[in-house]
Structure 1
Amino acid sequence: MHRRQLLAAAALTAYLPAVWAAKGYPNKAIRIVVPNAPGGAADITARAVGEHMTKTLGQPIVIENKPGAGGVVAGQTVASAAPDGYTLLLISSGTAVSEALFKSLPFDTLKAFAPVAPLATFDLVIVGAENGRFATLGDLVGYARQNPGKVNLGTPNLGTTQHLAAELFKSAAGIDLQVVPFKSTPDVITALRSGQIDAGLDILSPLLAQIQGKALKPLAVTGPKRSRVLPDVPTAQEAGVKGLNAASWNGLAVPAKTPADVIARLNKAVNAALADEGVRKKLETLNLDPHPGTPTEAAQMLRGDIQRWNAVIDKAHVARQ
């Protein structure tokens, strides 16, 4: 056989299994690996969407929780899985933070995964204690400018989206304040209410009960638009911090080289789930905004966040781990 024919035959042989996988897909259970513990917003989102996908795809969707190492444990599990559409990863803004922050991951996020679809977006919020010194974000910024280094802003954990959003806030506002990482959101709340810190920056959902109970005062949300559940609270940009645009999001991805037809099938099932009234209500009770979209849009969200957080880390001189 001519060499060119041999090469063509070899290429066809390599291609056929992917074609067969796409045409017969799915014919067994699919797992979604979640880099968070059970019971949180990420886990509940995956379960709500997965339950509806089971109806659409005709196969069970199994949720596998693998928390640890900033999502690296879950990421490595999926990066090393067969690219056949039977192993998915819940990705998020945290995935982008890990790619930007860790010096050496066991995988290259942009090369190891093929995004399938966005799932939801959710707000970050800057808060003060209800009886604290700041009534508005402008008050906080003005005081920090007059008193460099004397404002303490709490966030949960080093190297989280919230932590880097706080560093972005410092940079965008042109102020010098102390970002104080705590082990958890409850620790941030306790420190705020006891006066140990002046303000906090965290995901809105776990702070909402404290805000509604008048224990915490929302100063601004950090995303591009006002929150659906706090419509009277301005965005940071409306409050004068023009360069602060940081929201959180999550989505689904598969191992790179998964057939395009399989990704398209999964994308269709995800978007059908997000269009379902029951799924939307479940997400909205968590103060998440369902975000149907294309694989391309999910990829742009991931790539854009990696670029954003790389720039923040460089400018703020955050030590890469």
Structure 2
Amino acid sequence: MLKSIASISALAAALSVSAPAAAQESYPSKPITMIVPFAAGGSSDVIARLVGDEMGRALGQRIVMENMGGAGGATALTRASRAEPDGYTIVIGNSGTNAASYTIYPDLKYTNADFAPIGLVAKTSPMIALKLDFPAKDLMEFVAYAKANPGKVSLGHAGVGSSNYLICRNFVKAAGVDVALVSYRGAGPALNDLMGGQIDGVCDAATSLYGAVESKKVKALAVATPGRLASLPDVPTSKEAGLPAFEAQGWNALFAPKNTPQPIIAKLNEALKTALSSQTLQGRFKELSSVPPTAEEVTPAFVAGFVPGEIERYRLLLQDK
């Protein structure tokens, strides 16, 4: 009897060790949820859907988007940090959700250590756009108008802590203006209100503004990149427009909850690399003025080293009120 009990215990122990390994071998065996920390329609959402479609093909399973707005992305990141570390819940983050949020929301329920990086997804181009009937015709006229009317100009963004909020903060600091920053649950709702004339302008990425600018539903003043965008060649750089201090680079990256097994992180990273090499995705990124990461930047190691520097960079920006 004792020998039988010992044999059963040994078998149970062996099964308990082999079960996680078997799960990793068969991963993914069901759809994966990608949490998007904002409402549909913004740059993070657009990039997430494009990348998710291609990654799903590479993995042989659908990647389902879950849009979750609130607190500049902190609500979604909290959920992601508490998800099972089994590879079936991942999150797309950016400079707001995974860097600036630690300064803006000191009582967050998560830290940078609660996430396992998968890889950089895209680099984005910050832009300022206005409603069509706004009296300023270019960037410096807009700055002059804002200085002459302190507190009266409204700029929408995707929520305090979002990457769009950081574009606004960078712009306000560079221009030395006092404007009203209006918070939304995502870039999509902010852009809708801009086109409807409820606000004067938005701080956003060219990725989500491209369609509205191209169809002349909003007026783009400048893009905060060193060179003009091939997709929007008529939009001047901030330097060309007279405000060289307004220069920035946005980014998006994929993360999993901490303790996600390394073999699963490796599979997700390989799927991301495959997605980014897709001609379809590269074409869409070019149209939307998003830049794919380099081979080095798409690695978990790069993101692990990159994010702490971004946290410190935005701590310095945001403490300078």
Q: TM-score, normalised by structure 2?
A: 0.76
Change (3 A) 1:216 1:61: closer
Does the 8 A contact of 2:93 with 2:252 survive in 1? yes
1:256 and 1:210 map into 2 onto residues whose CA distance is 38
**1:61 partner amino acid:** R
1:156 aligns with 2:157: yes
Does the 8 A contact of 1:148 with 1:176 survive in 2? no
* 1:22 Cα offset (Å): 9.1
- 2:318 is aligned, of 296, 313, 316, to 313
Aligned residue number for residue 63 of structure 1: 64
Change (3 A) 1:206 1:85: closer
1:35-46 mapped onto 2 (5 Å cutoff): 35=36, 36-37=38-39, 41-46=43-48
**2:102 partner amino acid:** E
2:84 and 2:212 map into 1 onto residues whose CA distance is 44
* 1:272 Cα offset (Å): 0.8
1:180 aligns with 2:186: no
* 1:111 Cα offset (Å): 0.6
1:57-206 mapped onto 2 (5 Å cutoff): 57-58=59-60, 60-70=61-71, 71-96=73-98, 97-108=100-111, 110-130=112-132, 132-144=134-146, 147=148, 149=150, 152-159=153-160, 160-173=162-175, 175-181=176-182, 183=184, 184-191=190-197, 197=200, 199-206=201-208
**1:127 partner amino acid:** A
Does the 8 A contact of 2:35 with 2:89 survive in 1? no
Does the 8 A contact of 1:18 with 1:84 survive in 2? no
Aligned residue number for residue 262 of structure 1: 264
2:274 and 2:264 map into 1 onto residues whose CA distance is 15
1:302 aligns with 2:287: no
Q: Summarize deviations over 1:115-136 as a string: whole Å, max 9, x none.
A: 1112223322123445544333
Q: Summarize deviations over 1:113-156 as a string: whole Å, max 9, x none.
A: 021112223322123445544333233335555x3726614123
Q: What SS is found at the alignment partner of 1:233? A: coil
Aligned residue number for residue 253 of structure 2: 251
**2:129 partner amino acid:** V
Q: What SS is found at the alignment partner of 2:136? A: coil
Q: What SS is found at the alignment partner of 1:218? A: strand
Does the 8 A contact of 1:29 with 1:62 survive in 2? no
Does the 8 A contact of 1:91 with 1:252 survive in 2? yes
* 1:55 Cα offset (Å): 3.8
Cα RMSD, aligned residues only: 3.3
Does the 8 A contact of 1:166 with 1:179 survive in 2? no
1:214 and 1:37 map into 2 onto residues whose CA distance is 23
1:218 and 1:44 map into 2 onto residues whose CA distance is 19
Does the 8 A contact of 1:283 with 1:290 survive in 2? yes
* 1:227 Cα offset (Å): 2.2
Q: What SS is found at the alignment partner of 1:229? A: coil
1:52 aligns with 2:54: yes
Q: What SS is found at the alignment partner of 1:171? A: helix
1:18 and 1:240 map into 2 onto residues whose CA distance is 61
**2:314 partner amino acid:** W
Aligned residue number for residue 8 of structure 1: none
Q: What SS is found at the alignment partner of 2:196? A: helix
**2:109 partner amino acid:** P
Q: What SS is found at the alignment partner of 2:197? A: helix
* 1:30 Cα offset (Å): 5.2
Change (3 A) 1:157 1:47: closer
Identity value in percent: 28
Does the 8 A contact of 2:96 with 2:166 survive in 1? no
Segments of structure 1 that go 5 or more residues without pairing to the other structure are 1-12, 317-321
1:20 aligns with 2:25: no
Q: What SS is found at the alignment partner of 2:320? A: helix
Q: Summarize deviations over 1:14-33 as a string: whole Å, max 9, x none.
A: xx779936972525235233
**1:26 partner amino acid:** Y
Change (3 A) 1:296 1:244: farther
